[in-house]
Structure 1
Amino acid sequence: MFALPRLSLAPLLLGVLLFNTSVASFNSCTHDETFIPDAVLRVSVETISQSCMPPKDVLLINGTSPGPELRLTEGRTYWIRVYNDLPNDNTTIHWHGLTMAVSPFSDGTPQASQWPIPPLHFFDYEINIPVGMAGTYCKSCTSILIFYHSHVGFQAVSATGPLIVDDSGPVPYKYDEEKIIFLQDAFSSDDTTIEKGLTAKPFVWSGESAVILVNGKGGGTADTTVCNASLSVINVDPKKTYRFRIIGGTALSFVSFAIEGHNNLTIIEADGSYTQPYNTSYLQVGTGQRFSFLLHAQAAPPKKTFMMQFEARSRPTVTRGFAVLNYGSDLAHAPYPPATPPMTLPETTVGFLDYVLRPLIQDEPFPTAAQVTRRVTVRVHQEVSGGRTIWVENNFPWTEDTPREPYLVSLYKNDGIEFPSMQRALTNGGLDPVTVAFPAEIGEVLEIVIQNTGSEAGGVDAHPFHAHGKHYWDIGSGPGTYNAAENEKRLIGTSPVKRDTTMLYVYDTSASNNTDAGWRAWRLKVVEPGVWMIHCHILQHMIMGMQTVWVFGNETDLIRGVPIPEVEGYLVYGGSVMGNETHWPQVVEFQTDWEDDQ
């Protein structure tokens, strides 16, 4: 299960989509035996041992965890077929970092945009990547870093893998080769046990991460427990320059990372946006975050192997893991964790990279405070309700059992969940309490403030917040209560980068119940209609309710000219859009020209 293979994509038979700039054009068809998907992912479960832990059921993609590397190219539309080979459980795949506005039922979010894939069915995901899509990719950049994962329950702890998007522009940074560092957590309990505990009355915690896995392997320590398992090895050659792509695929751990003897790491990408070079001796990677950095291999290294050290420091206990940077040929024997950590990593830096990263190219102007049309504050809070420990946002949780069907499906069907009311939202801090959704109009410039608070028990947690859809400009973070005027002063002379996952930090380890305890702020132009989730990317917190649903655009914007009869198969669980061994899927090939629209 430890291999990290690359899945080559077959040529797309359907070609690049033709576009219409006013409304969506579309083609209804059956993906029968003549249809060849560009890639196939199969989600299955096997009883295996991860690192030092006893055997348990683990979800795999194409037989491995992490799953195979996918490489896509800008300016093309891809179809990726996902088989749910699980005998009893639903699944989805979310394309973390890609906006799926072109294909509204392909975002992989069962609580928001689509029904999950039933057991023993398959679904064809349509992924369109316009050239130079404003807000996500710069027009002269290449090879940005995404990843994919399930968006059901705790499945993403292992059902996940890397995804890289290339474009046709010149390479902005020169390097000889690429390497991937894919970070994951492993827990002693299986997914089902963890999910049941998190939703139980009373609450049963999952436990802390037992191991930090690097490309599927790992060893080290968790508190006082030692895991003496073999480590992943990344081979390099002297004098070469390498682009390392590090992916925060962890469920829980906020990981600090450094490489023994290599103190000059040059960050060149954050969450799929190229940055101006920024030198650092270490990185901090939250779950859902991605970075690329350049490493210049030593010309005459004093030894063959160097430890790569990874530490989850934001939890009550420290989990420490390792991998090996190896110069030259493969090692004769598998390496194991050192008896003593070779490095002392710095304490967690609150505000890491805030206000200092700059975009490599400013593809569209950063909206000023004067251009902001509305500020929405999302207050996150942990409380006990009806014996169950939950996370709420503006007094409401959003869990997998909150909507009886995906929100976008309900809007199409008009069968009980009304369209969110902007009037109600404006009188309730941005949230419509009837639909428990945050509406926004196309053309708005939102300032979204995520406000941390002390829990009922007086604790404070860190939260990596992720936004689906269009990327936002990250405008920083700080302790206490957000102060717009003071933060605007800090933005003078800066040029924020676009991100999709940034940290809500712990500034104080305790705070009185419901008092402000730190914030994170974004600016976002509302240009892509859709039903989008904004949520903490810690899987435990998501299961416990730390998710919000945002509806961008009105009914006309969302439907975009595709009548209900054409999408009927998307509106029913297990509908005709899902294939199985008895029938082929009947799909809609959506087509929208976002490049011309913007």
Structure 2
Amino acid sequence: MKSVSKVSLLALPILLVFGIAAVNSKTVKHTFRVSYISGLPDGVLTTSILGINGKYPGPLIEAEVGDVLEVTVINKIQDGQNVTLHWHGLHQRGTPFQDGPSQITQCPLKEGSTQVYTFPLLLPGTYWYHSHVNSQYTEGLWGSLIVRGTPEVWQELYDEEILITVNDWYHTSAKQNEEWFLRPESGGAPPYPFSVLMNGVGRYPCGTALKAGRLCVSYSQVRPVFKVQPRKTYRLRLINTSGWVAFNFTISGHTLTPIEVDGIDLAANQPVHHAIFIGAGQRYSFLLKADAGVVGDEFLIRASLRKEFLFTLAGNINPAPEAVINEVTGVIKYANVGRQTYSSSPLVKPSFEQFDHSKTYRTVETWSTMDFLTEMETVPFDAVPAPPNFDTEKVVNIIFQNDENGLRRGSFNGHPFELPTGKPALGKLVDGIPIPEATSHFNMKYGDIVQVVINNPELGPHPIHLHGHHFWVVGMGHSGDGSYDPLRHQLNLNGHRRDTVLVKEKSWLVIRFRADNPGVWLMHCHIDWHMLSGMAMVFVEAPELASSIRVPDEARKVCADHNVFI
């Protein structure tokens, strides 16, 4: 009788989530029709763009804390592919079947079928959504998601908002890239990106494209222009939606004051910086003061890919990796514009201009002279420290090795991750079926404080994303610092929280989180090619509460299309 009482008590926060959302919410509805479209994001005609409602990038979702998001996904992918959507950074507390990873929290949606995702939005911040089937999102199946507090913590400090996304781009399809990458001949070198984009646009050398037999239209190569009013302050939301690359980011002549990291508001008076290093999957918000010029002045928005962390071997599916233009740019233009936004959204809508190589811009600094944000110096607004002790620990070593077929695979602890077949992992948990060992699952009890140590002996950084949680970053080594040693390395319990963090090259990382979200949650490298080859694992959280997890009718319906029944 005591155990039943305990389960009921522990399930109470989940029930309260739905009660609060139902009383104080509106429903924000979207319909996403997913299909292949053609376009020229970087000037080169690409026919394998996975668009939503005929467009790339996908629609911006804007909502407020307490709203219920309802997204109807219609799979019209012409070659019969399955699809899912993951809501990157949202915890899905009490709604784990809505998280989206194929065969982890749901069966994939078959071509010709429809699925409705429905869940409450409980945390403010800058998020994004993307496909979680193989490497699909590298074809463009992603969009931005903003959840605003009512009011926002720092709302009185800015007048309007600017949203900027940066990402890598491929002229080859995801299927082509996957088939090339998942064979021994690739040597473990991911498909090399062809270009980098800002807000969905960029440029590629047309001469190189024409030599490869691809249509390239130079006048379609454009960049975003944001008009700002002198002396106003803007909230700049920045999202890296790449499948691989990390960027240096700056706005020439201006400083950036961080106020949000991955959906976590920061305390006042954070150090001011000129530049930020941002990895795949990460998000930031900054205060940008338009105080560096007068009407008519123009300043470059610069995102430069960190090419030293990319590598390639002879025979890469990208035949001309040297052709990638390292830096993608936009423009901040000072103008007498007044208020550019409407009551429904505080976002400034950019215009787009063709590249004009004869133009000059104010104050273009070199990267080596800039002051970069130091992640471990940021402090959350709520100042909640990490728990001083932990109940269970998982040590994860990043390893690349050849399998029995000679395929170079990434993994955690030498065990490449494999997706379960039949019922998704969460369905197996709910139905009392053992989760396969090939998922490298790690079990924890409800309320446990979990410490995860990640050691990276490789030459490049890895962005580690944990579904279902924000975690405390209690320790982060410098490049070349070696593996974590508790006798040598000091932890910081008063550091920041986030959901996607970079473990630096040849270094270590320590995170902690509270196991208070029953379900099956994926942890993986957000370099999509590394996850595809096996660098992932699942945390099975509160298996003793599995019977209290509600299975939505939509989840049952989508699985039934595969003759799988939960």
Q: 2:134 aligns with which of 153, 160, 168?
A: 153
Q: Deviations over 1:263-317 (max 9, x none)?
A: x111110000011233110011111000000110026438522111111113247
Structure-2 residue corresponding to 1:216: 200
Match for 1:166 among 148, 153, 174? 148
Matched, 1:259 2:251: yes
- Displacement of 1:440 after TM fit? 1.1
Residue aligning to 2:387: 367
Contact 2:129 2:142 in 1 (8 A): yes
Q: Is 1:557 equivalent to 2:549 in the alignment?
A: no
SS at match of 1:156: helix
Q: Which amino acid aligns with 2:150?
A: S
> Aligned partners of 2:43 and 2:552: how far apart in 1?
51
What pairs up with 1:235-250 in 2 under 5 angstroms? 235-250=227-242
Query: 1:85 Cα deviation (Å)?
Result: 1.4
Q: Offset of 1:552 from its aligned partner?
A: 0.4
Q: CA RMSD in A?
A: 3.3
Give the 3 Å change call, closer, same or farther, for CA 253–170 of structure 1 in structure 2: closer
Contact preservation (8 Å) 2:224, 2:331: yes
- Please show how residues 327-406 of structure 1 align to structure 2 within 5 Å: 327-328=334-335, 334-336=354-356, 342-346=364-368, 353-362=374-383, 364-368=384-388, 371-385=389-403, 386-400=405-419, 403-406=421-424
Which range is displaced more, 463-472 or 301-310?
301-310
Q: Shift of residue 383 of structure 1?
A: 1.0
2:310 aligned partner, one-letter code: R
Aligned-pair CA distance for 1:75: 2.1
2:310 corresponds to: 315
Q: CA offset at residue 550 of structure 1?
A: 1.1
Deviates more, 1:41-50 or 1:164-173: 164-173
Amino acid at match of 1:274: D
Q: Aligned to 1:231, which of 218, 223, 234?
A: 223
SS in structure 2 at match of 1:193: helix
> Where does the alignment leave 5 or more consecutive residues of structure 2 unmatched?
1-9, 19-26, 211-215, 312-321, 338-349
Equivalent residues of 2:106, 2:426 under 8 A apart: yes
Q: Which of residues 272, 290, 297 in structure 1 aligns to 2:263?
A: 272
Q: 2:332 aligns with which of 325, 328, 333?
A: 325
Q: Residues 163 and 39 (structure 1 numbering): CA distance in 2 closer, same or farther, change over 3 Å?
A: same
Tell me if the contact between 1:504 and 1:519 (Cα under 8 Å) persists in the aligned partners: yes
Superposed displacement of residue 154, structure 1:
1.6
Instruction: Return closer, same or farther for 1:522/1:332 CA change in 2, 3 Å cut-off.
Output: closer
**Counterpart of 1:5?**
none
Alpha-carbon distance change, 160 to 63 in structure 1, aligned in 2, over 3 angstroms: same
Structure with more helix by fraction: 2
How far apart, in 1, do the equivalents of 2:65 and 2:534 lie?
35
Tell me by how many angstroms 1:434 deviates: 6.8
Query: TM-score w.r.t. structure 2 length?
Result: 0.80
Q: What's the counterpart of residue 123 of structure 1?
A: 115
Label 1:434 to 1:387 Cα distance change in 2 as closer, same or farther (>3 A). Answer: closer
Residue 585 (structure 1) aligns with: none
> Matches of 2:548 and 2:84 in 1, distance apart?
24
Residue 527 of structure 1 pairs with residue 510 of structure 2: no
Q: Secondary structure at the match of 1:569?
A: helix
Q: Identify the match of residue 97 of structure 1 among 89, 92, 95.
A: 89
**How far off its partner does 1:234 sit?**
1.7
Equivalents in 2 of 1:332, 1:544: separation in Å? 37
Q: Which residue of 2 aligns with 1:441?
A: 445
Q: Contact (CA 8 Å) 1:181, 1:214: kept in 2 or not?
A: yes
Pairs aligned (count): 501
- In 1, Cα distance between equivalents of 2:439 and 2:486: 29
> What is the letter of the counterpart of residue 174 of structure 2?
D
Report if aligned partners of 1:69, 1:163 keep a CA contact under 8 Å in 2. Answer: yes
**Which deviations, in whole Å up to 9, do the C-alpha atoms of 1:439-489 show, x marking residues without a partner?**
1111211110111134xxxxx22210000002100123112010224433x
Deviations 1:232-276 (A, max 9, x none): 2122111110001000111111000111221x1111100000112
**Is this contact kept in 2: 1:399–1:542, CA < 8 A?**
no
Alpha carbons of 1:261 and 1:391: their partners in 2 closer, same or farther (altered >3 Å)? same
Q: Distance in 2 between matches of 1:332 and 1:535?
A: 35
What amino acid maps onto 1:73 in structure 2? E
The TM-score with structure 1 as length reference comes to 0.76
Match of 2:489 in 1: 487
CA distance in 1, matches of 2:434, 2:357: 56
Instruction: Give the equivalent residue in structure 1 for 2:340.
Output: none
Amino acid at match of 1:163: L
Residue of structure 2 equivalent to 1:418: 434
Which ranges of structure 1 fall in alignment gaps of 5 or more residues? 1-18, 28-35, 131-136, 138-142, 421-432, 455-459, 507-516, 578-587, 589-598
What code does the residue aligned with 1:418 have?
A: P
CA separation in 1, counterparts of 2:173 and 2:148?
36
Which amino acid in the other structure matches residue 495 of structure 2?
A: P
